[in-house]
A and B are shown apart, each in its own frame.
Chain A
Amino acid sequence: MSSTRDSSAEKPRVRFTLNPGTIIAVCAFSLTILGLTILFSASASLKQDPYSYLSKQIVGAVVAAGLCFVTSRLNLDYLRRYAWVVGGISLVLLALVLIPHVGIAVKGSKRWLGYGAARLQVSEFAKLAMVFCLAHYLALNQTRIGELKRGYLYPLGIIGAFAALVMREPDLGTAALMVAVGVMLLFLAGAKWRYVLPTIASVGLIFAMTVMLMPNRLRRFTAFLDVEGNKQGGTYQLYQSLAAFAAGGVDGAGLGQGRQQINFLPEAHTDFIFAVVGEELGLWFTLGVVALFAIIFVAGLLHLRRAPNLFQFLLVTGCLLLICLQAIINLGVVTGVFPTKGMSLPFISAGLSNLLLMGLLVGIILNTQRTWGRVAIPRQARSLEEVLA
C-alpha cells in the first residue's frame, strides 16, 4: 500500500487534488453549512431562544468534524478485527434502549440512550455497525457467497438481528433503511438472484403486513395517496410541506422570510427541514441539495474503483448508501413521493446522532481516500500517460 503512495509522491503534484474524497468532503461541508443557516432561519420565530437549535447543531457539527478526522486516521484493517465486538456492543445497546427507564422515550418511541440533554440515538450508529459487520462477514465468506446458508441466510441473519431490534423501538423507517442497505450489499457481494428476489418479495410482504396490522400506520400510509383530501387528518404535515415548496417558488421567499415553519409545518427543524429550504431559498437551492447528494454518490462510485479488497469495497459502499438512501427517502417523504416516515436529512436536519454518524461515514470515506491510492486496474489513458512519463 505504501508503495503506491511513494510512486505518487514522486510526482511534483499539488497535495490536495480534486479527488473523490475531497469532493465528498466539500459537499458534506456545504450541506452542513446550509443546514446551519436554514436551521437558524427556521428558529428565528421560535418563542424560546432562537439560538437553541443553532448552538446545539454547531456543537454537533464540530464534534462530527473531529470524529471525521479521527476516523479518517484510523487503520480500518486493524479495526476489522473487532468487527464482531462492535456489532455485539451495538446489539446490546439496541436492546438496552428497549428496557424501560434505561431507554429514553419521546412521543412513544424508545430510541435514545444518555443522560439529560446529552443523548444519542443508538440506531444511527447501529446502522454503521451493521454495515461494518456485514462487510466483514461477506469479505470473509467471499467464496461461499453462492451457498444458501453461509452465503445468504447468515448475513441475512445479521441484518435481521439489527433490524428487528430497531423495529421494536419502534422505528420502522430506520429498520427499513437497514434492510435495504443490507440487501443491497448482499446483492453487490454476489448473492444469487434466486435468493435475492424472494427476499425482497418477502420483506415487502412483512412490511405490508406490519402496516396493515397497525391501523394508524395504514392510515398514514394510504393518506399520502390523497394528500389534498386528508389535509386535516394524516397528511396535514405533508400538505404543509408541499405548500412550502410552492410558496418558495423559483426564487424563494428569502432567508428568514419563510412562514411554514411557524406552526404550519410540524418537525420543521428535523425531518421536514428541506421544506423550509424550499420555501426560503427556492428551486435552485433545493435542486442544489439534490445535486450535492448525487455528486457525493457519483464521486463515491468513482472512488470505489480503487477499492483494494471486498471488505473495504463493501464498507465504503455501505457508507455511501447510508448517506444517499437516507437522503433519497427523506427528500421523497418531504416532497410527497413516499409515505411519511420519520427520517432526518443527512447533514441538514437538526439532531446530534445523525450528524455524528455522518461524521463517521465521511471519515471512513476520507480514510479510504487516503489509504487506497491509485486505481487498481488502470485505464488505457492512464497507462499511456505512465508510458509517456
Chain B
Amino acid sequence: MSKGFASNYRIVLLASGILVSFIGLGARLICLHVVDRGELMQYVIKARRQIIVEHARRGDILDVRGGVLATSRTLMEVGVDPQSLRAIDEAKWPQLAELLGLPVAELRKILTTKSKKVDPVKSAGTALLAAVGPSAVTPAARPSAEDINGIFDLSRAMEKSPANSEKTEAAEDEVSLDEEPDANGLRLIRYAKLSPHVDESTYDKVMALGIKGVYGTRIYSRAYPHNQLASHVIGYVNKAGVPAAGIENYADFYLRGQNGWREGERDGKGREAAQFRTREVPASDGYSVTLSLDMMVQHIVEEELEFLAKKYQPQKATIIVSDPRTGHILALANYPTFNLSEYGKADPASMRNIAVADQYEPGSVFKIVAAAGALENGLVTPGTRFDCSIEKIEYRGSVRSLPGEDHHFDHPLTVAEIIARSSNRGAAQMGMLLGEKKFYEYVKAFGFGGRTGFPVGGEVGGTLAPPEKWDGLTITRMPMGHSVAVTPMQMHMGMSVVASGGLLLRPQIIREIRDASGEVVYRFGTVSKQRAFSERTAATMAKLLMGVASKDGTAPLAAIPGFEVAGKTGTTQKLVPTVDSKGRTVLRYSEKHHVASFVGFFPASRPQVAISVIVDDADAHAPGGIAYGSGIAAPSFKRIGEQLIQYLDIKPAYETPARGPGLLALEGGRR
C-alpha cells in the first residue's frame, strides 16, 4: 500500500485506527438514531410538548341600563426565571422593586433564590403529575376544556401562567421548579411570582427596564367597580377563580366562556414555537348578563338601608323594589352588607341574602290573603262588617279564642277598615269564613310555602304547615300572619299579586344574556306561575290597601301626596328564646323585639313599582321602644317611593286606564 517513505505497518496501524473510528462513529449513530431512540424521545416529548390555555374573558354583569356591576380587568402577572438573570441587570433591581411595589430586600430574596429543597414525597407526586400532563393529551383522547385546565394547572412547569385553581396554588407555592432535582435534592426554580397583578402601563415600564428573565403573563381579574352595591345579588368570584355566590355563580354557565388552547411545541427557552402548532382552539369569551337591577334604584335603596341602620341599628333589614307587572327586580338590598372588592374581609353573616334566605312571621301584611280570598269567593264585600270586639267565636262546633287587638275598635269594622286599621280579629273572622282548606289554598296561591324561584342567595321556601297539622287556634292566627313564616321575597311577590292584577309571577333578576358581540342570546321574560284571583278582586284589594296609607289607616307616613299608595304594614313580635318557670328555654313571642315591615306598591290603579321594607329588631332605638311597621318601615317606603317617582318618571294615576295595566304589560313581555 505504501511506498518507502513510511513503513507499511505504521501506515496500516494509523489508517486502521482512523477507519475503526469512522466505523465506531457509524455504529454510535445507529445507536442514537434507532436503538436508544425511545428513551431519548421521552425526554424530547416532555421538553417540547406543550399546551397553552388561552383564558376566556369572563363576561360582564350589567344593570338594566348597561352600567357595569362586575367586569374582568386585564392585568399582568409578573414573574421571574431566576436562572436567566444577568449580573449587569442588578443595578436595575431597585427600579423594578419600586414599580412592583415590593421592598428591595424582598425582591432581592426572590431573585437570588435559585433553587428549592423539595421533599421527596411531594416532588414525586408533582413529578408524576407533570409526567402525566403532557402525555395525557393525545389526539385520540381529546380533552374537554376542563381537563385541559387541570393538566395545565398541574404541569405548571410547562407553562408560566397564573394558576386558576386552588390545588395549584397550594402545590406550587407560587414558584415552579425544574422537573428533576439535582444530587442534593434541590430543584432549580424556573419561575417565581413577583407580583400577582400589575396594570398594563406599569407592566410596559417593567419591560422597558429590559431585565432578562423578568416577564409577565396576561390574566383576567374580576373587578366590582361599585364595591358593596347589590353585593348580595351579584356575588363574587373567589381568588381561586370559582364563582362563589350570587349571579356570578348562578349565571356562571354564561359568564365563564370557554377557555381556548393551543397545542404545540415550545423551544428551548420555553417559548411557544408557533410554526409547530398542531391545534388551536380560540377562547370564546363569556356572555354578559344584564340584570333587571337598576343601579340607581339599588343605590337609593342602599342609602335608605344605611339610613335605617344608622338611625335604628336593627339586627337586619331588607328592601326589595320590583316592577310588579313583570316580576323584574329593580333593587334588592340587605343590611348588613359587604364590599365585593374585599369579600375576603367580610363577616360571613353579612354575605347572607336575607331577602330570600331568612324567614320571619309576616304579621299583618299577611291579612291581604284572607281578605282577597273572602272577596274573591263573594263571602264579603268591602262594606261587610265584622264585630272586632269579641274575644271568642264559635267555629265548626267549638269556641275559639280570637287574637288580641292592638287598638280598641268600638264599632263593627268593614272589610276596608279591617285592612286599613289592621284588625287581627277581623282578619281571623275572614279566614274562618273561608275555612281552613280554602284559606290554605289562597295562602298557596299567593306563593307562600314554596320557593319564589329567585335564583340567587340560597332561597328557602318559608314555613307553612298543611291544614291537617293545624291546631285549633291556627285558623284564628294565620290570617293575621302568625303560625306561618315567609321570606321577604315571598311577601314581596305576594303583595305583587295584588299589584299585577291577580297573577303570581316569578321574581326575575336577569333580564337578558348577550354574547361577546352584543347579540341577545336569551331574554328572560315574565313568568306567570298562576292566577291567584281575578283582576276585579285585585282592583278591589288595591283600593282597600290604599286605605292603609291614608290618614285613617295604620300607615299615613307611607302616603305620597298626589299618588295612590297601596300597601300594608306589619309589626310582628319576634320569637325569642326565654327561660320559662320550669327553667327550660322556650321560644316566646317577645314584647321587646319586633319585625317592622311595610309592603306596598303604587300607583294603586296602575302599579309601577312594588316596594318592601322589612326591618328586623329596631326596637331599641325606635320611638316608644317598639318598632312598628307604620313608624319605621312606612316612612322608608315613602322616601324610596318619592325618589323613584323622579327617577322612573312615575305619573300620578288619577286618569285610570280602562284595562289593568298589569295585563297589558304581561302580554308584551311574555314569551
Contacts and interface: CB of A to CB of B under 8 A. Distances in A.
Contacts of A278: 29, 32-33
Interface stretch (A19-27, A206-214, A245-253): A245-253
A301 B33 contact: no
Contacts of A325: 18
Given A232-B180, A283-B34, A309-B5, A290 B14 contact: no
A188 B33 contact: no
A331 B5 contact: no
B32 A246 contact: yes
B273 A259 contact: yes
B267 A262 contact: yes
A264 interface: yes
A146 interface: no
A324 B269 CA distance: 35
Interface in B267-287: 267-269, 271, 273, 275-276
A359 interface: no
Interface in A208-266: 229, 231-233, 239-240, 242-243, 245-250, 259-260, 262-265
A246 B5 contact: no
Given A290-B25, A294-B22, A188 B34 contact: no
Contacts of A262: 267-268, 273
A188 B10 contact: yes
A262 to B, nearest CB: 4
A245 B19 contact: no
Contact of A263 (B3, B7, B11, B268): B268
A32 interface: no
A249 B276 contact: no
Contacts of A112: none
A77 to B, nearest CB: 16
Q: Which bucket holds chain A's interface residue count?
A: 35 or more
Contacts of A34: none
B231 to A, nearest CB: 49
A310 interface: yes
Contacts of A242: 32, 36, 40
Nearest to A252: B33
A132 interface: no
A297 to B, nearest CB: 6
Interface stretch (B42-50, B399-407, B479-487): B42-50
A259 B48 contact: yes
Nearest to B32: A245
Interface string A298-309: 100100111101
A291 B27 CA distance: 12
A9 interface: no
A287 B271 contact: no
Nearest to B17: A184
B26 A335 contact: no
Contacts of B182: 232-233
B6 A189 contact: yes
B3 A283 contact: no
A293 interface: yes
Contact of B19 (A286, A297, A336): A297
A259 B267 contact: yes
Contacts of A189: 5-6
B9 to A, nearest CB: 11
A286 B269 CA distance: 27
A291 B265 CA distance: 33
B18 A297 contact: yes
A187 B10 contact: yes
A377 interface: yes
A117 B215 CA distance: 33
Contacts of A297: 15, 18-19, 22
A305 B3 contact: yes
A187 B269 CA distance: 48
A283 B29 contact: yes
Contact of B34 (A250, A263, A265): A250
Contacts of B48: 259
Contacts of B581: none
B273 A188 contact: no
A328 interface: yes
Given A242-B32, A248-B33, A335-B28, A188 B14 contact: yes
26 contacts: A45-B267, A190-B7, A242-B36, A243-B41, A245-B29, A246-B39, A246-B41, A249-B34, A250-B34, A259-B265, A259-B267, A259-B273, A262-B273, A264-B47, A264-B268, A278-B33, A283-B33, A287-B30, A290-B25, A290-B26, A291-B22, A291-B26, A293-B22, A310-B5, A328-B22, A337-B25
Interface of A: 45, 184, 187-190, 229, 231-233, 239-240, 242-243, 245-250, 259-260, 262-265, 278, 282-283, 286-287, 290-291, 293-294, 297-298, 301, 304-307, 309-310, 313-314, 324-325, 328, 331-332, 335-337, 375-377
Complex A-B, nearest 3 residue pairs according to Cβ-Cβ distance, in ascending order: A263-B268, A246-B40, A264-B268
